[in-house]
Amino acid sequence: MAASISALHYLQWRQITDQLVWKKMSTTKLLKAIISSVLILLSLPSLSAEWRGVVATDVRYYFEEGDFGQDQELASIMIEPEFYHSWDEHNLSLVFKPFYRWDSMDNERTHGDIRELMLQYVGDEWDVKAGIGKVFWGVAESQHLVDIINQTDFVENIDGEDKLGQPLLTLSTERDWGLLSIFALPGFRERTFAGEEGRLRFPYVIDTDNPIYADPDGKSRLDGAIRWSHWIGDWDIGIAHFSGTSRDPQFVLDSSNPQDLKLRPVYVTIDQTSIDVQATKGAWLWKLEAMSRSGFEQGRYSAAVGGFEYSFYGITESGADLGVIMEYQYDSRDVLPGGFRQEDIWVGGLRLAMNDIPSTEVLLGYSYAENQQFINLEASRRLGDSWKLVIEGRWFEGIDETRPMDSFLYPFRNDDYLSISFERYF
């Protein structure tokens, strides 16, 4: 082993990371904890560390004033460094990826997290991972239906792409018959939400300090999951089962103070069995995610999202590719938690990859359900070797303001926005 972490360093590090993940901390203390954790790693002279990461500035403009008088403009700064080191000819490795964002509008969006703090050992037959990590399941573009290990960092972005780090222990083995992974998940992460001054918020403030758990062990409950995946010809198949606390909260209205109504998150205990399938057939990419879930008041229900992406290659002299995306979202429930009416959703999209030196890419998505429409724009382009320009836009259209229970998008009806980010990689 090329280097070791002393007991003192380890104890200091554990104290800091425990605070980062589990405790409500002030912005100043949270930032100091991240910096201190990084400095501890830097203070190990015998450790040959690899550092990389990204720093980004973001400016976002909302086209209308918020329902509660929020500003139309905000700015934020984000930093996400990454530390990596390996020993024993790469059989043992350590990854540490903290995250911090400062937001000019929303105190809840000013937040930090440990996205990863993972020790991994690669053996002859079994791989072992222990720490805090991120695991992604799924193949669909418009909805990550079966992805359930990590909690969504909803205050960071509503698209479900950003996840909080999850404490976990994973055992994996890859054989001729496929990859088998077993997960022990000690400790539950609660979803983040926009604060009272934030945008893309709900009509009532979410009381994240007083969640309700169906299980008496609350956030200390030990969850578990198992997943098998395998390539069979052109087919990539994954089958999984999860048992534990649902990452999707329901809400109850807390009216104990009529002058300050709040929504309390409710986390129920569920069992979810799922399958995800992707088939590559020439220019066609066929995708399906489906799951069956129990534990909610409505009883067991099923949901699925599936469709295709067809690619037109070399549509320009420079060799650009254009992908056409079509997906359909289905849910067996007539009424969603919260009383919202369930509607099946059609999703279409275009993915343009210019295949140029700056890696210019554009993704345009369109969702439709009973005259309600959601338009999503994501575009990016490298600026030199270290910089990247990212443009994001979201528009919510066709939402009937006289019928708020017809759509869970109703709270966002005035939150159309366009954002521009500059990312610096190091």
Task: Please list the residues that pair with 238 across neighbouring strands.
Answer: 229, 276
| pLDDT per position as a tens digit, 348-364 | 999 999 999 999 999 99
Q: Is 34 helix (H, G, I), strand (E, B) or coil?
A: helix
Tell me the average pLDDT across 252-277: 94
Give the pair of three-digit tokens for residue 19: 């605070």
Domain boundaries, the chain: 1-48, 49-425
| Cα atoms in the 13 Å half-sphere on the side-chain side of 348 | 3
pLDDT in tens, 411-422: 899 999 999 999
The per-residue pLDDT for range 82-123, each reduced to its tens digit, is 999 998 777 999 999 999 999 999 999 999 999 999 999 999
| Cβ atoms 244, 221 nearer than 8 A | yes
Q: What is the CA radius of gyration of the chain?
A: 22
User: Does residue 226 have a pLDDT over 70?
Assistant: yes
Instruction: Calculate the CA 178 to chain-centre distance.
Output: 26
Residue 38 parent element (H or E):
helix 27-42
Res 6: pLDDT: 42
Q: Which long-range contacts (CB under 8 A, 24 or more apart) does 113-119 make?
A: 113/20, 113/21, 113/153, 113/164, 113/165, 114/17, 114/20, 114/21, 114/165, 115/80, 115/163, 115/164, 115/165, 116/82, 116/165, 117/17, 117/165, 118/94, 119/92, 119/93, 119/94
Do 264 and 252 form a contact (C-beta atoms < 8 A)? yes
Greater pLDDT, 32 or 68:
68
Residues shown for the chain: 426
pLDDT tens digits, one per residue of 294-311: 998 778 999 999 999 999
- pLDDT of residue 27 exceeding 60, the answer is no
CATH code for the domain defined by 49-425: 2.40.160.10
Averaged confidence pLDDT in the chain: 89
At 94, list the tokens. Answer: 């350590």
| Mean local confidence (pLDDT), 181-196 | 96
Tens digits of residue pLDDT in 163-179: 999 999 999 999 999 99
Q: pLDDT at position 45, please?
A: 45
Q: Which residue has the higher pLDDT, 98 or 44?
A: 98
Question: Quick one: DSSP state of residue 26?
Answer: -
Above 50 in pLDDT, residue 20? no
Average pLDDT over residues 41-67: 82
